[in-house]
């Protein structure tokens, strides 16, 4: 049975329809969401104003001067009829170097203890997976990635931190993310992104903008010290209780 055969199309606005393909978040959804995105873009052509794919849905914003609701609904059903999953391995895989250390990832011991793992075992679990970028949002360049192993899934903070340093790597439930900007956050923090020079584009932004997959690579700080400094503001923003 085609997994999207029971899809639902809901009215989101007078010129927008929400295509709901799945009810739960899963990495296997991505092949179908990507395929649907490609099919819908081709079907709507110049009448498409915007198309926003996410974990389980696609928001189709169309030009209501070029077509009405019934025509848009017909195009969606036609485009998705007989759809085949896309090749999720076709996108570029980005290796993102990160530094795991309690000085910048204050919850490393807490998450490890909750999971019944040593800190080294936790780091290996977090690194040993190619993560899908499910969606972009919250902040420019912020990619919602997952899924982490259930053993290291970590509840979101009940009270968000007011400040999370740019480059922070954290876990919230079964998702992981890299914060591209100084911003609030609800995750528990394990590491920081390691960029080799100040004029190199953020690996987090490259991953979010260009790929559907990325891999976190453990990088010892000592090997990067000649080219990377840990800004003092990163450490202050990572103090575990100051902003809870």
Longest dimension (CA), the chain: 61
Question: Is the pLDDT reported for residue 134 higher than 90?
Answer: no
The parent domain of residue 187 ranges over 93-237
Predicted local confidence at residue 210, as pLDDT: 35
Q: Cα 113–117–123 angle (5° rounding)?
A: 105
Question: Is the pLDDT reported for residue 239 higher than 70?
Answer: no
Residues 72, 112 within the same domain:
no
Question: Is the pLDDT reported for residue 231 higher than 80?
Answer: no
Q: How far apart are CA 85 and CA 67, in angstroms?
A: 28
Q: 93-100 and 213-218 as β-strands: parallel, antiparallel, unpaired?
A: parallel
**What's the mean pLDDT in 81-107?**
84
Q: Are 212 and 157 a contacting pair, CB within 8 Å?
A: no
Boundary (domain end) residue, out of 80, 111, 141: 80
**What's the mean pLDDT in 210-215?**
58
Q: How far apart are CA 4 and CA 6, in angstroms?
A: 5
Rg (CA), the chain: 20
Residues 18, 133 within the same domain:
no
Q: Are 94 and 215 a contacting pair, CB within 8 Å?
A: yes
3 state SS of 48: strand
Alpha helices in 67-136 (DSSP H): 69-80, 108-115, 119-127
Q: Are 115 and 149 a contacting pair, CB within 8 Å?
A: no
Q: Are 10 and 37 a contacting pair, CB within 8 Å?
A: no
Q: Which of 3, 6, 22, 8 is nearest to 85 (CA)?
A: 3
Q: Are 72 and 78 a contacting pair, CB within 8 Å?
A: no
Does residue 244 have a cis bond before it (omega within 30 degrees)? no
**Structure confidence at residue 217 as a pLDDT band (50, 70, 90):** confident
Residues 155, 212 within the same domain:
yes
Q: For 181, which DSSP code?
A: S
Boundary (domain end) residue, out of 48, 80, 112: 80
Segment of 74-78, 157-161, 239-243 carrying the highest mean pLDDT:
74-78
**Structure confidence at residue 211 as a pLDDT band (50, 70, 90):** very low
Predicted local confidence at residue 189, as pLDDT: 85
Between these two residues, 229 and 126, which has the higher pLDDT value? 126
Positions of E strands within 67-181: 93-100, 130-136, 143-146, 161-164, 168-172, 175-178
Predicted local confidence at residue 176, as pLDDT: 92
Between these two residues, 134 and 241, which has the higher pLDDT value? 134
Question: Is the pLDDT reported for residue 124 higher than 70?
Answer: yes
Predicted local confidence at residue 240, as pLDDT: 37
Cβ neighbors of 119 (< 8 A, separation 6 or more) are 100, 102, 108, 109, 112
pTM of the model: 0.74
44 is a domain residue? yes
Q: What percent of the chain has pLDDT over 70?
A: 80
Reported as a single tens digit per residue, the pLDDT across 30-61 is 899 999 999 999 999 999 999 999 999 999 99
Boundary (domain end) residue, out of 54, 80, 106: 80
Q: How many domains does the chain have?
A: 2
CATH number of 160's domain: 2.40.100.10
Residues 113, 218 within the same domain:
yes
Residues 114, 73 within the same domain:
no
């Amino acid at each position: 049975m085609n997994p999207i055969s029971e899809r639902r199309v809901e009215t989101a606005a007078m010129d927008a329809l929400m295509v709901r393909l799945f009810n739960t978040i899963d990495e296997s959804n991505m092949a179908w969401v990507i395929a649907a995105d490609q099919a819908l873009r081709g079907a709507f052509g110049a009448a498409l104003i915007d198309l926003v794919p996410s974990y389980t849905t696609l928001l189709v914003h169309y030009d209501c001067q070029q077509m009405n609701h019934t025509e848009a609904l017909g195009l969606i059903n036609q485009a998705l009829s007989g759809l085949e999953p896309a090749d999720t391995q076709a996108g570029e895989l980005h290796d993102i170097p990160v530094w795991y250390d309690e000085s910048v990832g204050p919850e490393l011991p807490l998450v490890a203890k909750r999971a019944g793992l040593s800190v080294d075992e936790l780091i290996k679990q977090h690194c040993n997976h190619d993560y899908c970028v499910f969606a972009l949002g919250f902040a420019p360049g912020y990619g919602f990635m997952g899924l982490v192993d259930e053993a290291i899934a970590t509840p979101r903070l009940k009270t968000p931190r007011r400040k999370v340093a740019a480059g922070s790597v954290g876990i919230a439930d079964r998702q992981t993310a890299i914060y591209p900007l100084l911003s609030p956050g609800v995750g528990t923090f394990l590491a920081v992104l390691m960029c080799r020079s100040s004029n190199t584009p953020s690996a987090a932004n490259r991953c979010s903008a260009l790929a559907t997959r990325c891999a976190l690579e453990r990088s010892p700080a000592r090997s990067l010290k000649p080219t990377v400094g840990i800004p003092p503001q990163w450490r202050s923003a990572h103090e575990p209780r100051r902003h809870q």
